[in-house]
Structure formats: C-alpha cells, structure tokens
Amino acid sequence: QVQLVESGGGLVEAGGSLRLSCAASERTFSSDIMAWFRQAPGKEREFVAVITGAGGNIYFADSVKGRFTISRDNAKSTGYLQMNSLKPEDTAVYYCAASTGLLLRSQYYQPNFYRFWGQGTQVTVSS
C-alpha cells in the first residue's frame, strides 16, 4: 500500500506561483509513475502532468504547458509540481497519484489507471 501526502496548496493572486509536494511512503517510489490531477467544483477530475519513474518521460495538459513543471526526487520519495503564472481557472483541488505498474502513454491521462491517491490540496487563485 502506498500512501501519498500532498502539501503546498494555498491562496495566491493571479500571476503568482505555488509549489506542490507529494510525499510517498513507498521505498520503491523511484519506479512509480507519478501524476498530478485537479478537480474544480462541479467538474470532472482532469489530468495536469505526469512524470515516469526515472523522469525520462514528462507530459502536460495543454492548459498548463509552459507554466507548470513536474519533477521528482527519488531519494526523498517526493514529487513536485511547480506552478507559475497562475490563473483563476487553475483554482481546484490538486491530487497526486501514483501507479506502481506500467501504463501505456494513452493511460497516463486517465485517473482510473492510478491506484494510489493523495488526499488533495486546495489551490485558489484570485483575480
């Protein structure tokens, strides 16, 4: 069982930055695929970014490309989502997710393929 704990959310003005962290309890975190999703009120959970175990493959949703970066420190079993140039439409609860198994690229973007989830952290961007 993998436990994920997010931190770093908060309230920020438009144009500001936040860095989210996702700490994993698993010692084999380095081989996991780690992703970030977000869910705004009344909307479905949507893909934000994903990074494979060795960091060799990284993909972003078009809506955050060029503004967000994803990274991981396997020695600390922690993943990060750096969010810059935040917009009010980025307001949502952000979740990190992990898959201990292999996924096809088409599966990276679908929440159903991730077995482990954090509790979520609220990000609110004011205009």
Q: What does the pLDDT average to over 60-89?
A: 96
The Cα–Cα gap between 52 and 33 comes to: 4
User: In the prediction, which pLDDT does 65 show?
Assistant: 98
Neighbours of 16 (CB within 10 A): 14
Cβ distance 88 to 12 under 8 Å?
no
**Residues in contact with 18: Cβ distance below 8 Å, sequence separation at least 6, in sequence order:** 8, 9, 10, 12, 83, 86, 123
53-65 per-position pLDDT tens digit: 877 799 999 999 9
Cross-strand pairs, 23: 5, 78
Token code pair at residue 13 = 């003005």
85: pLDDT strictly greater than 90: yes
Token code pair at residue 88 = 């009010």
User: In the prediction, which pLDDT does 120 show?
Assistant: 97
Relative to beta strand 121-126, strand 78-83 is unpaired
What are φ and ψ of residue 75, in 5° steps?
-65, -30
